[in-house]
Amino acid sequence: MGRISEHAPAKINLTLQVVGRRGDGYHFLRSLVGFADVGDVIHFAPSKELSLEVSGPFAKELSASNLADNLVMRAATKLLDICDHKQGAELHLVKNLPVASGIGGGSADAAATLRGLMRLWAVGDVTDDKIRELSLSLGADVPVCLQSKCTWMEGIGEKLSIGPRLPDLYAVLLNPGVAVSTPDIFKNLGGVFSSGMHKPDAFSSLGDFKNYFDLVGNDLQNPACELEPVIAEALFELREQENCVHSGMSGSGATCFGIFDSKEHAERAARTIKLKHSDWWLCPTVVR
């Protein structure tokens, strides 16, 4: 097979509840995860060896680190280890998403790497269970990113079930450019856990969606805002835009999202905020 490509869509935690903690410190979560139509892209070409090149708007954040330990290379190496036929590939990651920003960029890249290499290498000797096990070993968000569709994610990321039917969700993704520490945010949560809300099968309207999401929210949002007040500012800017139906933070931040009632209103909001905060990353999108 010749050169192929895989999209690595941004993961959006539309809701996130922390419902407990294991003895080893890992937290149990319940999250409704959607995926945007924007993301990174990975290109694959046959080769005798594994190699990785990075380009794109956020390439510098990765190029400064050891690419051999990048999640893309770790995913490729782990998949190669369990394949019967040893092969290589030239990997080219186009990094369009901010790094370490709560929208699963690295996890989505790892998942796209697994999907792409399984096609490139025509992997047929590895079971689905083995791939799921491999994906979880790369990170808690990788299994849901492997599916890249609306999903309920529970446990530490290993329990996945079909998500509800969503209304059209026109969104603006906004990252104010701050790095947040996930361990610090969980520490700031102070061991306060949610009981876990019910999981609807569908939302009948955008209003139905708003009522549910306003009720459930993201348990890590307030602790993150306390540590980095600019996140609260970002959420305020989204809420203040005309026709913003709901705003929230994805994952442990710092990326926030605003939901709007039309594509036009989402695009207008992104332009308005960009005029005021030219250094913030903003992207209108659709979440599914």
Whole-number Å distance between alpha carbons of 136 and 157:
8
Find the Cα–Cα–Cα–Cα dihedral 231, 32, 143, 109, rounded to 10°.
Answer: -40
pLDDT of 101 > 60? The answer is: yes
* Closest C-alpha to 158, from 63, 29, 34, 256: 29
- Do 185 and 220 meet the contact criterion of CB atoms below 8 Å apart? yes
pLDDT of 184 > 90? The answer is: yes
Q: Write out pLDDT tens, residues 161-173.
A: 999 989 889 999 9
Active site annotation includes 141: yes
User: Phi and psi (nearest 5°) for 270?
Assistant: -60, -40
The DSSP letter of residue 140 is: T
Cα distances (angstroms) measured from residue 7 to each of 51, 75, 120, 248: 19, 15, 14, 25
Continuous H helices in 42-180: 59-63, 71-82, 105-120, 128-138, 142-147
Q: How many CA atoms lie within 13 A of 197 on its CB side?
A: 18
Of the residues 11, 40, 109, 219, only one is catalytic, namely 11
Active site annotation includes 40: no
- Distance between start and end Cα atoms, the chain: 30
Of the residues 40, 109, 141, 219, only one is catalytic, namely 141
Query: What domains lie within the chain, and their CATH numbers?
Result: 4-161 (3.30.230.10), 169-287 (3.30.70.890)
pLDDT band at 48 (very low <50, low <70, confident <90, very high): very high
One-letter identity of residue 129 = D
Q: Write out pLDDT tens, residues 217-260.
A: 999 999 999 999 999 999 999 999 999 999 999 999 899 999 99
